[in-house]
Amino acid sequence: MIVNRTWCLPPLDERALNDLHNSIVKAVVSTPSSGVQSERDMLNLFPSDMMSYGLGDEVYVEIMHLPERMQPFERRMLGDLVRTAVCDALERSGKTRPNVQLFISATHPDDIVM
């Protein structure tokens, strides 16, 4: 299961978080090699930050457990789609367009997924 963790978000209300979630799901679903057909095939996490200073200036997105069959160019394409989805969703909620840093990893054969 693909896991997407989006860190250091500015304060968002529930509507804006739902919009962000739906935008990320749409971006991942639009990449056939991800194997994701709906939000049930992936997990979106939005951990809160203990310090509010600087939140929203830089947003970190960690996409983990991508299928091994995804080629590097497909991972980059997925990352670009998710980056755009995050920026667009934050702008729709009235926030400044952030600098989005991406971290992408495929599932390693030795990973334990339970």
Average pLDDT for the chain? 88
Q: How many domains are contained in the chain?
A: 1
Query: In whole angstroms, how far apart are CA 57 and each of 6, 53, 96, 111?
Result: 13, 9, 8, 33
- Give the pLDDT mean for 87-110: 84
- Give the pLDDT mean for 2-8: 93
Question: What is the per-residue pLDDT across 9-43, written as a single tens digit (0 to 9) for each?
Answer: 988 999 999 999 999 999 999 999 999 999 999 99
In this prediction, residue 3 carries a pLDDT of 94
In this prediction, residue 44 carries a pLDDT of 96
Assess if residue 112 is contained within a domain. Answer: no
Q: CB count, 10 Å around CB of 107? A: 16
Assess if residue 111 is contained within a domain. Answer: no
- Find the domain containing 53 and state its range: 2-106
pLDDT band (50, 70, 90) for residue 68:
confident
CATH number of the domain bearing residue 35: 3.30.429.10
Instruction: Return the axis-axis angle of helices 72-92 and 14-29, rounded to nearest 10°.
Output: 160
